[in-house]
Amino acid sequence: MRDEGVPPAECLDPVSVVGLGKLGACMAACMAWRGSTVVGVDIRPDVVQSIREGKAPLYEPRLGEAIADSRSRLTATADLAEAVRGTQVTFFVLPTPSDADGGFSLRFLEPALEKAGEALSRKRGYHLFVISSTVLPGATRGPIRRLLERSSGRICGSDFGLCYSPEFIALGSVIHDFLNPDFVLIGQGDERAGRWLEDLYRRRLQNDPPVVRMNFENAELAKLAVNTYVTMKISFANMLTEICEKLPGGDVDTVTQALGRDSRIGPRFLKGGMGYGGPCFPRDNLAISFLQKKLGCPDSLPLATDRFNRRQVERIVALVQSKLAPEDTVAVLGLAYKPNTMVVEESQGLAIARRLASSGRRVVVYDALAIESARGLLGTAVTYADSLEQAVRGARGVVVCHPMDEFMSMDLKSWGTPGFPSVVVDAWRVLRRQLEGRAGLEYFALGLGSAEPMPAETDWERSLPTEDHLAEEAAL
């Protein structure tokens, strides 16, 4: 006999997705690709038109393919009320920007929720609302639920369902990450809502991930906790990077590869290089600090992670400045916060370019995908190159900020000769095989110490307690 809490397949469709940004457009496309009838909602006419024409409104690998293959099941509108009335499940994927105090603002989410509630008041039957935007613990049960109940005149849990279900995706691999998650996190307002959403995910995902269901507050905290833990892991790897640079024979890749083999730690996000950036990690790390202060808990750990991460820019800038004369041009390669995306939010590469340019140095920048995004933030402070070759020709110094395939495959034969780079700072060691040890070139790979082995007995080794000394201490 069928569990009454799980709807038949036809009741889960159509689906509406409110907010067709970097995540929302991919969610809508993926669900349509996997068989759902989907209505995307966005207030931007150009985004709506792109979806209707079967085109991607933004760049993300495989997004164009997913939209083109799903034209019969995917459409878009600017009318949120119409989308709610015509669908059974509505996902909200709207920005929740940081407040001045480090919390999250609901200023974009609240008007959409009010319109959705008003639409529900003129609709019969049960409807499931899903908050995929990141919010602070207490927001879903508090202002979000109250706003939906007030605007709809309905009761959450009986007349409509409410879930909090954030995605754990990375820009540049959103399509794969959405369809193949490590796990699905559902904060449920009631058992029925949680089962509806779990059933929808299980029908549309490519893998068979664990689904963990819990109350709103635990799910909201879990989302922040995942990202905050990852930022600590990245910063730990970068701490080892700096140690290895000062350790004769040090190699951060050798160390982190060994560390990652421990099942308690794992290898993901454990690669020393640039600091973290992007739209999620920095703000979620500060948001958990805000929550700790609000609850009266010490917030030293996330703040230390944030300070350490911001220090990475100055560390790299100082290295570049120490190796180049003020009149030397430097090329900064990689302006997005990571490869394969146009997003420059909290990008360390962009911050390095800005900082170097602010010292009066001529800076040439290049990033095949993010050059226009960066132009809006860097303005006329830097020179923009149309190609890698144009960026490095005439530059004495180069900073490689990305482990991009394009950078690893560029022609380096002339580097170290007049008119080409002679100082290279390689944040991810992607050019190590080609450039390490080349005559006429100073190659600085973050996380690599000198090639000289450590002496048999160093000063610090001589200061270690001897076995006799330890025995004496034990007898006291």
Residue numbers annotated as active site: 280
Classified as helix, coil or strand, 251 is strand
Taking the C-alpha atoms of residue 94 and residue 115, their distance in angstroms, rounded to an integer, is 14
Cβ neighbourhood burial of 268 (10 Å; 0-12, 13-18, 19+): exposed
Contact between 67 and 55 under an 8 Å Cβ cutoff? The reply is yes
Tokens standing for residue 59: 């760049």
In the sheet with 397-400, reading across from the earlier edge strand, the strands are 383-384, 363-366, 330-333, 397-400, 423-426, 442-445
Q: How does DSSP assign 415-460, residue by residue?
A: TTSTTS--EEEETT-TTHHHHTT-TT-EEEETTB--SSPPPSS-HH
Classified as helix, coil or strand, 387 is coil
Tokens standing for residue 2: 């069928």
Taking the C-alpha atoms of residue 17 and residue 333, their distance in angstroms, rounded to an integer, is 36
Tokens standing for residue 98: 């940081």
What separation in angstroms does the CA of 91 have from each of 25, 246, 465? 11, 50, 61
Q: Which of 242, 261, 267 is nearest to 252 (CA)?
A: 242
- All residues at 6 or more sequence positions from 295 whose CB lies less than 8 Å from its CB, including other chains: none
